[in-house]
Amino acid sequence: MNDRHVRLDGPSDLLAAVPHLVGFYPVDSVIVLTFHDIHARPRLAAAMRLDVPRPAVYDRFLATVQPPLLADPDVDGVIAVVTTAAGDLAAEGLPHHGLVSRLATLCSEIGVPLLQAFWTPEFRAGAPWGSYADPLVTGTVADPSASALGVVAALAGEVTYSSLPEMTELLAPQLDEASAARWRTALDTLTDQTTTATTGEYDNAAHRLVLETIHALAEGGEVCEDILIRVLHAISDQRIRDAVFRTALGPHARAAEGLWITLMRCAPTGPEVVEAAVLLTFSAYMRGHGTLAALALERALHIDPDHSFARLLNQALSYGIPPDKLAPIADAEPNPTSVRGSDR
């Protein structure tokens, strides 16, 4: 949702927007929001969610946060939100006050001020919130489901999941042994057929099949299992996969993501699924869905830890490289009819 323009009025609205920014309702988390143009027209640059660390590993937390703050030279302000059930606005200080204090020091050292830091026990309408900067500044969280960003997300067809486990389940394999065997046999047959086909003709047809399938999904159509298998086989070729990266920047990006998710759920675990996961990682990151991108990337590297492009994306996400700096990957728009190969 990084192309949406929504006005948020005050901390209550900002906190109500957090679940939509990270894609789910976080618990026991620290959310770090970075901004551009804070002195003119503030714009959200990125939203990072991390587990609330134990005091003994605060240094590790700060070491994880620092690279993304340094990677984007246009960031000129940060807001942090801590959510944990343990806490009381009337008690001596808010939970993890020491962590917030050290985060403020880090931000100061690298020249990116911590503008504000808030605590809330949960992202629920009416939940209390407090400010780490001033204990007298308090309020209640606005209704996330009725927030301006929530409405925009719903109208755009975006889903805000109730929890991280629910979001993780979205990418989990959902096939039985018989289905896995059927897909595997079909994929092997397509591979045998490909070896006897003319390279240029095959690549053109395979590329066209992927784009036509995405278009059909964008128009509300359904895709049969045979087409899904053919698409999965097509993107297992590096040249075809690279040629469809551009869909992440086009009008059918959501439909393409839906296709990659379907393939990750329906296909048997194997090298082909890695390419679907890589495409989903790139597309989700381009569209500002960092958590979904991280989950897809985790699946890809679990299957193939040595996949070169997945490792490249892992470095980019770890260092918080801004999406616009990765966009040239798609803009390159390689020719699918050039020499075929594999980067695995």
Give the torsion sign (CA, 278, 287, 266, 340).
negative
Q: Is 144 helix (H, G, I), strand (E, B) or coil?
A: helix
Q: What is the pLDDT of residue 152?
A: 72
Share of residues in the chain with pLDDT > 70 (%):
88
- 176-197 confidence digits (pLDDT tens): 889 999 999 999 999 888 765 5
DSSP codes, 35-104: EE-TTSS-EEEEEEEEEPPPGGGHHHHHHHHHHHHHH-TT--EEEEEEE-SS--TTSSS-TTHHHHHHHH
> Domains of the chain: which residue ranges?
10-161, 170-331
- pLDDT higher than threshold 90 for residue 90: no
What are residue 51's phi and psi, to 5 degrees?
Answer: -65, 145
Q: What is the pLDDT of residue 315?
A: 93
- pLDDT higher than threshold 60 for residue 340: no
- 116-142 confidence digits (pLDDT tens): 999 999 999 999 999 999 989 999 999
Q: What is the pLDDT of residue 301?
A: 97
Give the amino acid at 146. Answer: A
Q: Do the beta carbons of residue 47 and residue 22 sit within 8 Å? A: yes
Q: Is 2 helix (H, G, I), strand (E, B) or coil?
A: coil
- pLDDT higher than threshold 90 for residue 280: yes
**Average pLDDT rounded to a whole number, residues 255-269:** 94
Strands of 200-294, DSSP E: none
- pLDDT higher than threshold 60 for residue 16: yes
- pLDDT higher than threshold 70 for residue 330: yes
What are residue 232's phi and psi, to 5 degrees?
Answer: -60, -40
Residues in Cβ contact with 24 at an 8 Å cutoff, skipping those fewer than 6 apart:
160, 161, 162, 163, 164, 166, 167, 291
**Average pLDDT rounded to a whole number, residues 14-20:** 93
**Average pLDDT rounded to a whole number, residues 31-44:** 89
Strand partners, 50: 30
Query: What pTM did the predictor assign?
Result: 0.84
Strands of 184-328, DSSP E: none
> What is the CATH T-level fold of the domain 10-161, as seen in this structure?
Cytidine Deaminase; domain 2 (3.40.140)
**Average pLDDT rounded to a whole number, residues 16-45:** 91
Terminal CA-CA length for the chain: 31
Q: Between 148 and 71, whose confidence is greater?
A: 71
Q: What is the pLDDT of residue 257?
A: 95
Give the torsion sign (CA, 104, 70, 54, 14).
positive
Tell me which of 51-60, 213-222, 316-325 is least confident: 316-325
Q: Which of 4, 43, 15 is nearest to 147 (CA)?
A: 15
Share of residues in the chain with pLDDT > 90 (%):
67
Q: What is the pLDDT of residue 266?
A: 92
Residues in Cβ contact with 9 at an 8 Å cutoff, skipping those fewer than 6 apart:
none
Residues in Cβ contact with 71 at an 8 Å cutoff, skipping those fewer than 6 apart:
319, 320, 321, 322
> Considering the chain, what is the average pLDDT of its residues?
88
Q: What is the pLDDT of residue 267?
A: 92
DSSP codes, 201-219: HHHHHHHHHHHHHHHHHHT
Q: Between 3 and 72, whose confidence is greater?
A: 72
Say which residue the tokens 């092997």 belong to. Answer: 188
CA angle 206, 329, 247 (to 5 degrees): 45
